[in-house]
Structure 1
Amino acid sequence: MLFFRTICLTVVFTLLSANVWAEERPAPDVRIVIDISGSMKETDPENLRRPALNLLTELLPEGARAGVWTFGRYVNMLVPLGTVDEAWRQKARAASGDISSVGLNTNLVDALDRALYEATQNSQFDQTVILLTDGRIDMDTSGGDPDTAANTAARERLISAVLPEYMSKNVRIHTLALSDAADVSMLGQLAMETDGLALKAHTNDELMPAFLKAFDRAVPSEQVPLVGNTFNIDPSVNEFTALIFRAASSKPTELVSPSGLRISQNSAATSADVRWHHDLNFDLITVKSPEDGEWAADADVAPDSRVQILSDLKLKVTGLPGSLFSGVPVQLEMSLENEGETVDEETILQLTDVSLQVTAPDGRTGSKLLSDPESLPVDGIFRETLSRLNQPGEYRLEINAQGRTFERKQVLTATLAEPMRVEVEPDVNQQILNVRVYPQSDLVDTSLSRVISRISSPDGSSMINAMEYSGENDAWELALMADKGPGNYEIMLNIRGVSASGKTFKSKPESIPVTFPLVSESAPERAALASMMPEQPQVAGTASSEDDPAENEGGAAESAASPDNQSKQEQPQSEEVPSQDVSTPAPEEVVPDLAARYSEQVATEEVETEEESGVAWWIYVLLGVANLALLGGLAWWWLMRRKGKAESPEDVAARESLDLETGQLDDADLDSADFDNFDGAEEEEIPAAEEESRVTASMGGDTDMGSPEPAADAAESADDDDDWGEFDLPDDKKE
């Protein structure tokens, strides 16, 4: 049976028709905008922009539309916008030699404006701009000082005129910063506004891989896995393109077909089915109507090599935005498509393994097998949710679909960059934890953006507060005091921002744990703190011994809230002493009172004797109750038996039906919405209060939930503002 299914699967995929871009998705429209200012001599000394442009030129599919612009003081259309074919590629290859580093300024705004040439709101193309720069807006001799009149005017034009055009015409901007001197904040905002990637190449060696990441989002490509130096081509593949990055001292690249035929750069020149592009550090080989089976690359294959294919069988991945936000779940959908139709045939899906691998910015990797032969999606779409992504940087997602006769792979990149920065500063003397949220860019509209905090207290209750914006400090501020008593508190933030051009974004940073009372590292400050605090039962963070575990827990919370304390933690520990409460004086040594001890012992023995006699009495009572219960049960059984004889068949059927309806419920039968407060936590109502210049999160005080203009916010309906009435963290129960 397995052999029969495999043969059927092979026949189905072999009989598919030729691939056509327009059948599945709009053809890509890729505009490449390259900085040629003088500073690029230092950031790109080998001028890797030339081979990078050649690489994208060769990878662009037939029928796509593309153009190339360069900019310094002036903007030049290096390669006119046109349909990608062999003639267009020849123009692009020739023009790549004109890329230099001679520009006197960085006219980034005009470059982005000119790159909108013929872009339309309802375009038949999927429009993307890939922007490479190593600097910032520089329209005068200041070297990019943002406060000069010329640079300020250019920036305002970017925000008020150019960027809204990109948003209205649905053109994404993938930004690539090639220097630490680049205006990373502005480039990140451009990407976020248009759902693009915000990439950074720390060295010129990282330039080409970064270009590929942007290209993969602009032109999603089908791949087959390249394992070592081998890859498999199945019968449904119409064409493949092998991108082989060569090691520094590698020999010339050759491809070896399944039948043993060797293809080199020289032999490709005489073949109508092979196109070979050789460049500085890579070979790009396209083979039409390839032989199916295992191919090999006879070369010293370097990282980032890949094999793209044109096939009638595709792996479709949707739901991954270019810009991610902290704590906002990502809903992925993955499926196989045949001529634009989702493959939902159970026979095929049972023989296909679909897996997902996610690599975080810090290099940690996690994998998951999504397909289960016993539980296949009816519609053929595999779904997975990535929740609580919160690490700034690049996330790499690799999706693989492996069947008995084929393999498909997609690699996509998304970037997470916080538009807001959270800072925490404990004030030990005042016993206040100050939390401030700063906008990371002046493109954030602070008058429309909102920051909500939810504070959980030691008694299990919680309160939601709207943090007030302070124009003086350019931050939303909250001051937390321990009005619910000492213990562990937690602050969770929900940010809804609005950019200067009207883009809305949401973010939910990591929660902030804190233990009250706040403690300092020095003993005199702890002693002064203890004298200020009222007498309380011993809780975490209140002991005085430096080695007491409870105090160490409080100190760890303070250290997490304040990076300045890290250096203090590295200091040598003091000599270990027994843990004790220093507020209670040690008892003086006295002579034991033997008579008193004897009298206490006698009294204790008398109590134990009375308890033993009491136990025996209770045993008799329990036995009597048990006998009565047994007699009552027998009587009930006898009566029910007599009653059962008198029941009609209809009565019996009705009773059995009722038993089925009121039987024991499984977890799946319970509506979780009815058990929101099952853990005992209570949500306190927020009474109205007068506005304050700075919110103090007093758990027993009044805090205004509204904005600085309560009347205006009150007029907004729930439909207009969908989550300001609730704290919608994905891992929380509905409050």
Structure 2
Amino acid sequence: MRIIAGLLLYALVLGPLLAEPQRQLDVRVLIDVSGSMKKNDPQNLRQPALRLLAGLLPDGIMAGVWTFDRDVSVIAPLQPVNETWRQQAISGSQNIHSSGQFTHIEGGLRVAVGDWYQPDPSKDRHLILLTDGMVDVSHDPADSLASRERIFGEILGDLKAAGAKVHSIALSHQADLKLLQILSRETAGLNESIGNADRMQRVFMRLFQQAGKPDTLPLRDNRFLVDAGIREATVILFTGPRADETRLLDPAQREFSARALPSNIRWHSDQGYELITIKSPEPGEWQLVADMDPDNRVMVVTDLKMHLNDLPVVCLAEQRPEIRVHFSNKGEKLTDEDFVKIVTVSGEIMGGPGANRFQLRPADTPGDFVLDAPLPNQPGRYQLVISGQGETFSRELRHQFEVRPALSLSRQDEAEQVRVLLEIAPETLSDVRIRAQLNTPEGELPQMVLPVQINRYEVEVSTLGFSGQGSLHLRVEGNHRGQPVVLRPDPLPISGSKPDLPAVPAETEAAPPPSPEPKAEPKAEPKAKPEPAPEEAEPEQMGEDLGLMGWLLFAGANLLLLLLAGGGWWLWRKRKQRLAAQMNELEDDDADADTDE
């Protein structure tokens, strides 16, 4: 234990560190206060929901809260969060009402996020929009229709350009669901549709968790483990109408409640929840004596943080997005191998049938843990829970996402082939590329993919080319909302029907024919001695041995020899003629000399 603790201390203090780029969280909240809220939020649970959010927002981030009906009012100004701002938000929550005229969503957006029109890499921007109605800006329906079109056009374009994420909450089925869904979908935000305002606090907590990615501790059986690196812990407990008094036990088994608190614990009880903040909590195991709830959380302020990469909020079935996790201490990435060796990072996908648990592996990048997420294939809402566990600490992060169908496969088995039809859901993928491969006991066989209609493709797999059990593997590549994705449907089993070849009998020596009865033969005349067989093979046999290529090589070689011989004879003849001419000249010169004498 001392060795492991020493390794952890080395990793936290002396290990190799890399600077982490920090983005400032910027959260804006826009709340509908139109008259229809009297029906859809009769208990005005928007007030305690805002108070919960104000209590969760950490110091130093930018935040602002507005309400809207026909006009826009400020609840808490856009400022860095501190205790003064929290008190403004908590006291300002009393100004949330249900008596406004009209639902001027465009006006609220222009005031709350009017400065978001271009990207800022140093900011992490999120808008929480709560409404229960349609765009309604005047008594003239044409004005409302024009306002709605401006939201779809200019305002949505600015939000996308600014890299902002819109998390929308529809508080009734009469809300403009299409508008809210498009705002969230096009900005990679969450969209919640709740028919009952009783869930509002939980929704606000989940949206903050999605936007702020706060560090949390695992809460198991109402117990959580505090390590020495935690400076503050905030416990969120959701309570029912008849819940017993909540109690808190520290590692020394001292008991606290809202009526008896030490100076370092702040306890806030509100409609449907309790918020307990512990400054400088004592290391060790803490325990809650309260009803267990799956939405209860323990959020912490700590130097030792776990980080999760940006994951999509809408995933396609058969998609395998990469999960990447690392740790940091005081803003510096931890890369020391000894630290990585003592940490286990695991994941769980909650929301579907059965348990879907997995473990991340150390990546090639120092300090990273990675895995291609095994997402469910069934459409629905899910929650990814990432847990980091060391000998002396634990951390937890959560991410909500939705799975939507993208592909549908059908097959038709025929006598000598299997026809596989692949259909891509509209508005899911663009620039589609599909590869198909048949894996058999005899090897891998690429298959042709034929487009038959828009978003419909067909693969014809012949079963005559292999024996035994095979499987067809499909890989679909494309773009989803501007991001490249790869979809890998489950392999399709296909049985081969390769015909058996007739057996070739083994060659055996034929039995000699029975010897005929001996007969008296006439005396044979002496036969001439046969000529010895020539050593060279017959032309027919040579042709059979050489084949076509051999004949071509043979003919080419002979032609080359003829050309060389002919060229040599021609050169020799020309040289002979030159020598003869030179001899004749010499003889003429000699004859002329004799004549002169």
Do they fold alike, i.e. is TM over 0.5? Answer: yes
Match status 1:409 vs 2:396: yes
Contact kept, 8 Å, 2:436 with 2:448, in 1: the verdict is yes
Q: How does 1:20-99 map to 2 (within 5 A)?
A: 25-99=22-96
**Amino acid aligned to 1:462:** M
Residues 196-275 of structure 1: matches in 2 within 5 Å?
A: 196-268=189-261, 271=263, 273-275=264-266
In the TM superposition, residue 416 of structure 1 has moved relative to its aligned partner by: 3.8
Q: Distance in 1 between matches of 2:302 and 2:510?
A: 83
Counterpart Cα distance in 1 of 2:249 and 2:179:
47
Q: Is 1:465 matched up with 2:451? A: yes
Shift in Å, 1:324 = 2.7
CA deviation map 1:634-655 (0-9, x unaligned): xxxxxxxxxxxxxxxxxxxxxx
2:307 pairs, out of 311, 316, 329, with 316
Instruction: Tell me the equivalent position of 1:299.
Output: 290
Give the C-alpha shift of residue 381 in structure 1: 0.6
**Distance change (3 Å), C-alpha of 1:326 and 1:235:** same
Provide the secondary structure at the position in 2 that maps to 1:336: strand
How far the C-alpha of 1:205 sits from its partner, in A, is 3.3
Distance 1:98 1:423 in 2: 54
Aligned residue for 1:266, secondary structure, equals coil
Once the 2 structures are TM-superposed, how far is the Cα of residue 184 of structure 1 from its aligned partner?
Answer: 3.3
Deviation, structure 1 residue 285: 1.3
CA contact (8 A) 1:451 1:467 kept: no
Counterpart Cα distance in 2 of 1:397 and 1:130? 21
C-alpha distance in structure 1 between counterparts of 2:453 and 2:490, whole Å:
15
Q: CA deviation at 1:334?
A: 0.8
Aligned to 1:382: 369
The change in CA–CA distance for 1:216 and 1:466 in structure 2 (over 3 A counts) is farther
Count matched residues.
Answer: 481
Matches within 5 A, 1:632-643: none
Pairing partner for 1:156 from 137, 149, 155: 149
Tell me the TM-score normalised to structure 2 length: 0.69
Structure 2 counterpart of 1:106, one-letter code: T
Offset of residue 293 of structure 1? 0.9
- Give the equivalent residue in structure 1 for 2:355: 365
DSSP-derived class of the 2:242 partner: coil
Deviations 1:603-639 (A, max 9, x none): xxxxxxxx8xx776499xxxxxxxxxxxxxxxxxxxx
Letter in 2 for 1:42: K
Alignment equivalent of 2:335, drawn from 331, 337, 344: 344
**What pairs up with 1:57-206 in 2 under 5 angstroms?**
57-119=54-116, 121-122=119-120, 124-140=122-138, 149-206=142-199
- Aligned partners of 2:215 and 2:397 also within 8 Å: yes
Indicate the RMSD between aligned Cα atoms, in angstroms: 4.3
Q: 1:464 to 1:274 in 2, by over 3 A?
A: same
Corresponding residue for residue 730 of structure 1: none
| Sequence identity (%) | 30
Q: Return the structure number with greater strand share.
A: 2
Q: Distance between the aligned counterparts of 2:360 and 2:425, measured in 1?
A: 39
Q: What pairs up with 1:568-717 in 2 under 5 angstroms?
A: 617=509
Deviation at 1:433, TM superposition (A): 12
Cα displacement (A) at 1:108: 1.9
Is residue 422–residue 437 contact of structure 1 (8 Å, CA) maintained in 2? yes
Which structure would you say has the larger Rg?
A: 2
Query: Which SS does the other structure have where 1:380 is aligned?
Result: coil
Deviation string 1:296-323 (CA, Å, 9 cap, x unpaired) is 1222333311111111111111141333
Q: Check whether the contact 1:5–1:347 (CA below 8 A) recurs between aligned residues.
A: no
Mapping 1:560-571, distance limit 5 Å: none
Which of 278, 288, 300 is 2:279 aligned to?
288
Cα distance 1:493–1:336, how it changes in 2: closer, same or farther (>3 A)? closer
CA shift in 2, pair 1:296/1:24, >3 Å? farther
Give the match's secondary structure for 1:223. Answer: coil
Q: Which moved more, 1:24-33 or 1:380-389?
A: 380-389
Question: How far apart are the structure 1 equivalents of 2:213 and 2:45?
Answer: 23
Q: Is the 8 A contact 1:452 1:464 kept in 2?
A: no
Q: 1:356 aligns with which of 347, 359, 380?
A: 347
Name the SS of the counterpart of 2:106 in structure 1. helix
Amino acid at match of 1:75: V
Q: CA deviation at 1:160?
A: 2.0
Residues in 1 aligned to 2:176 and 2:352: alpha-carbon distance in whole angstroms = 23
State the distance in 1 between where 2:180 and 2:162 align.
Answer: 19
1:66, CA displacement in angstroms?
A: 0.8
**CA distance, structure 2, for counterparts of residue 10 and residue 504 of structure 1:** 38
In 1, distance between residues paired with 2:426 and 2:103?
Answer: 25
C-alpha displacement of 1:330? 1.1
| Counterparts of 2:107 and 2:344, CA distance in 1 | 48
Cα pair 1:139 1:151 within 8 Å, conserved: yes
Q: In structure 1, what is the Cα distance between the partners aligned to 2:68 and 2:479?
A: 35
Name the CA distance, whole Å, in 2 between partners of 1:415 and 1:336: 26
Q: Retained in 1: the 8 A contact 2:22–2:122? A: no
Contact kept? 1:13, 1:236, Cα under 8 Å? no
- Give the letter for the 2:174 counterpart: A
In the alignment, what sits opposite 2:325?
334
Letter aligned with residue 261 of structure 1: R
| Distance in 1 (alpha carbons) for counterparts of 2:111 and 2:24 | 21
Distance 1:305 1:482 in 2: 52
What is the CA distance between 1:123 and its match in structure 2? 6.5
Q: Secondary structure at the match of 2:259?
A: helix
Aligned-partner Cα distance in 2 for 1:101–1:265: 31
Q: Distance in 2 between matches of 1:312 and 1:149?
A: 54
Between 1:342-351 and 1:155-164, the stretch displaced more is 342-351
Gaps of 5+ in 2: 413-418, 439-444, 464-470, 498-504, 512-597
For residues 129 and 85 of structure 1, the distance between their equivalents in structure 2, rounded to whole angstroms, comes to 19
Letter in 2 for 1:253: T
Distance 1:358 1:388, change over 3 A: closer
Change (3 A) 1:118 1:261: farther
Using the alignment, how far apart are the partners of 1:340 and 1:56 within structure 2? 25
Letter in 2 for 1:189: I
User: What's the offset of the Cα at 1:387?
Assistant: 5.6
Match of 2:589 in 1: none
